[in-house]
Structure 1
């Protein structure tokens, strides 16, 4: 279970082994710590007791503080969950070897495959209902497949030699994918194409907020696996930039956030803005709940059913194992 706190004036306290949410105008709520995986705080007017923070750390429940754009700016978690030195040493060494290239290749391949999987999912019932969108999807799919061949042909001694070429492949995949997405979206949304931080259109603002929530969950999975979230391979290092998180989520953007947001927009839901032109609190809450609900959904991996959140944890552990030279890093492609 994932707890979202969006109401201004909420106080998070501890009662026995339960978190208690108190608000002056609402009924007090309680949630058992054993049932929680994370707490997302999306308002700046919330008070957390030290006892509640300590209890969450004890139970392995991470607390993420998110800004108005969905970007995580702080996290509470136990330092003892990330005390694996050998994994981080291997991660740093991999940057200077072909292993780093393979991790970057995995990130782009996971992105291409999951984007294609999502387009197939949305295209299943559009052949007659929306012929134009169906045609755009059919045009994009072979382009995404052809880029895989180009990606697999890129070789080098270490990631700095080939990063620009790999990013070029990723960029062309994005053009194909988002072009098909634009054809699926209602014209009234006036989707300008994919834009990151600072976007002012409703679709990109909603996607960016959802990605922020995904980044927080991915950072927790990577840290728990003993990895350094700020030392990536495909994405370059910069102070405050969680490069490995950005690498890792490439395989989960489409199946977690894009699917949730595009489905909601396609059903007629529209985000609300506040007086400052930012997503309104209720809209932020709905996006967070939709992303968390998707992470709670199940998919099949190796013949077994797992929640997407657990698949993310499994992938983080597999990456750590791969970097240590102790196992494979299998590709996860969501079902469609």
Structure 2
């Protein structure tokens, strides 16, 4: 279970070794063994005893803003700095191997998006299929350009890479918008905040995914603030922005499905002066849908695991990759 405190006045305390949740709807006690993570939004409260109980049971405690984006977290000291991994992480950034890693990261992101457009073609009419095919062809061209890039270090190729990645993403989202019901359509990506329903849902889902990826990196002994592709300025977890690119498509799928099913209505959104946020029921629907999807067991890279477990497994493999590559191993 993912315990989410997102209503004003909600509180979480520890009682007799159990989590005690109090909301306007009543009180509930939950054994720690049933809780995988705790998310606390603005206006909710958590006691220090509840935090310590979470730490004891290795449960992530995440504090998020109204967009669902992580602002802080509490974790066990056992996830502290692992010197050999973090030293290798820094060395890897300046190596030629990082160039290939970043290129493959962007290629995989484009492949995922192309796969999504192919799936959307299935129920499309002939006119829409042609438009989707045009977007796919353009994205495949950008992918070829990414693969052709050469440089000694990541900063050598980063400007061109960002340009082509951005252009490919714009084609992707423009195509996705064509596949949605009228009231869920949008004019490109918008963030901080969104300007439409689709982007409000997507931003919140991505915020949830940021927290899960950051937690996975920390548990693997990796420094989430030392990025390889994204710049590690402004004290942001830059490596989270790198790694999340592999998994964004999972949130895309959930949000697209919710839009196509018209699962949310105007009561699910707060709209002010052209700005749009999820609220109340809208947050609950997106949170439940994303968590259910990430909990689903799938076959990925030869293993049957939940999507959340695949994220953690990738983080551990990335830590091993840093160490092996800096030792000159394949």
Q: Same fold (TM over 0.5)?
A: yes
Q: Do the aligned partners of residues 282 and 188 (structure 1) sit closer, same or farther apart at CA in structure 2, a change above 3 Å counting?
A: closer
User: Which residue number in structure 1 is paired with residue 315 of structure 2?
Assistant: 316
Output the CA distance in 2 between the equivalents of 1:36 and 1:133.
44
| C-alpha distance after superposition, 1:201-256 (max 9, x if no partner) | 1111111111111101110001111111111111112123221101100111112x
Q: Is the 8 A contact 1:185 1:191 kept in 2?
A: no
What does residue range 8-19 of structure 1 map to in structure 2 within 5 Å?
8-19=8-19
1:275 to partner: Cα distance: 6.8
User: Which residue number in structure 2 is paired with residue 333 of structure 1?
Assistant: none
Q: SS of the residue aligned with 1:274? A: strand
Q: Is the 8 A contact 2:19 2:31 kept in 1?
A: yes
- Among 242, 255, 269, which residue is 1:247 paired with? 242
1:326 to partner: Cα distance: 5.9
List runs of 5+ in structure 1 lacking aligned partners: 328-336
Q: Is the 8 A contact 1:33 1:59 kept in 2?
A: yes
Q: SS of the residue aligned with 1:325? A: helix
| C-alpha distance after superposition, 1:44-99 (max 9, x if no partner) | 22221111101111211111111111211111111212331111111111121112
Q: Is the 8 A contact 2:8 2:43 kept in 1?
A: yes
Q: Is the 8 A contact 1:2 1:292 kept in 2?
A: yes
Q: Is the 8 A contact 1:39 1:63 kept in 2?
A: yes
Q: Do the aligned partners of residues 237 and 326 (structure 1) sit closer, same or farther apart at CA in structure 2, a change above 3 Å counting?
A: closer
1:160 matched to 2:155? The reply is: yes
What does residue range 201-212 of structure 1 map to in structure 2 within 5 Å?
201-212=196-207
Output the CA distance in 1 between the equivalents of 2:4 and 2:32.
14
- Among 84, 90, 94, which residue is 1:96 paired with? 94
Q: Do the aligned partners of residues 267 and 275 (structure 1) sit closer, same or farther apart at CA in structure 2, a change above 3 Å counting?
A: closer
- Among 217, 222, 226, which residue is 1:231 paired with? 226
Q: Do the aligned partners of residues 301 and 75 (structure 1) sit closer, same or farther apart at CA in structure 2, a change above 3 Å counting?
A: same
The number of aligned residues is 321
List runs of 5+ in structure 2 lacking aligned partners: none
Output the CA distance in 1 between the equivalents of 2:78 and 2:252.
33
Output the CA distance in 1 between the equivalents of 2:100 and 2:35.
34
Q: Is the 8 A contact 1:105 1:151 kept in 2?
A: yes
Output the CA distance in 2 between the equivalents of 1:176 and 1:285.
30
Q: Do the aligned partners of residues 96 and 303 (structure 1) sit closer, same or farther apart at CA in structure 2, a change above 3 Å counting?
A: closer
Q: Do the aligned partners of residues 207 and 275 (structure 1) sit closer, same or farther apart at CA in structure 2, a change above 3 Å counting?
A: closer
- Structure number with greater CO (CA < 8 Å, separation at least 6) is 1
Output the CA distance in 1 between the equivalents of 2:57 and 2:103.
35
> RMSD of the TM alignment (CA)?
1.9
Q: Is the 8 A contact 1:4 1:285 kept in 2?
A: no
| C-alpha distance after superposition, 1:146-179 (max 9, x if no partner) | 3332222212111111101111221122022112
Output the CA distance in 2 between the equivalents of 1:100 and 1:196.
29
Q: Do the aligned partners of residues 82 and 103 (structure 1) sit closer, same or farther apart at CA in structure 2, a change above 3 Å counting?
A: farther
User: Which residue number in structure 1 is paired with residue 257 of structure 2?
Assistant: 263
User: Which residue number in structure 2 is paired with residue 334 of structure 1?
Assistant: none
Output the CA distance in 1 between the equivalents of 2:301 and 2:230.
29
TM-score computed with the length of structure 1 as normaliser: 0.89
Instruction: Using the TM superposition, name which of 97-106 and 289-298 deviates more.
Output: 97-106
1:302 to partner: Cα distance: 3.7
Instruction: Using the TM superposition, name which of 139-148 and 169-178 deviates more.
Output: 139-148
Q: Is the 8 A contact 1:298 1:306 kept in 2?
A: yes
1:13 to partner: Cα distance: 1.3
Q: Is the 8 A contact 1:3 1:40 kept in 2?
A: yes
What does residue range 108-257 of structure 1 map to in structure 2 within 5 Å?
108-124=106-122, 126-127=123-124, 130-255=125-250, 257=251
Q: Is the 8 A contact 2:178 2:185 kept in 1?
A: no
Q: SS of the residue aligned with 1:200? A: coil
Instruction: Using the TM superposition, name which of 171-180 and 145-154 deviates more.
Output: 145-154
Output the CA distance in 1 between the equivalents of 2:43 and 2:301.
44
